[in-house]
Amino acid sequence: MATKKPENLSFEQALEELSTIVSDMEQGDLSLEQSLKQFERGIALASASSGKLQQAEQKVSILMGNSEKSALTNFDNDME
C-alpha cells in the first residue's frame, strides 16, 4: 500500500499515524535507518497537522467576525 502524503491525510489520520510512529520508535526495535525515515515522516506529519490547525483557527476567527469582543463560550449540548 502506498503511503499518502501528509498533506493529503485528514488531521485525525495524521495524528493516528504520528502516534503509531512514536510508539514504534519508543520500542527501540527499529534500525537507525528506519528510525530516521520514521522521524522524517513524523516531522512531515506534525508540520501538516499544524498547518491544518492554523487553517481551522483562521476559519473560526473569520466566523467569529475577527472581533475580540466575540468571546468563545462553552458548548452546552442539553437540548431539553
Rounded Cα distance between 13 and 48, Å, is 11
* Residue-by-residue pLDDT tens, the chain, 80 positions: 468 899 899 999 999 999 999 999 999 999 999 999 999 999 999 999 999 999 998 888 888 776 666 566 666 666 54
pTM: 0.72
> How many angstroms separate the Cα of 42 from the Cα of each of 58, 60, 68, 69?
24, 27, 35, 38
Residue 70 cell numbers, joined: 466575540
pLDDT of amino acid 43: 96
Identify whether the C-beta of residue 48 lies closer than 8 Å to the C-beta of residue 7.
yes
Superfamily (CATH) of domain 6-64: Exonuclease VII, small subunit (1.10.287.1040)
Rounded Cα distance between 77 and 22, Å, is 35
The domain ranges of the chain are 6-64
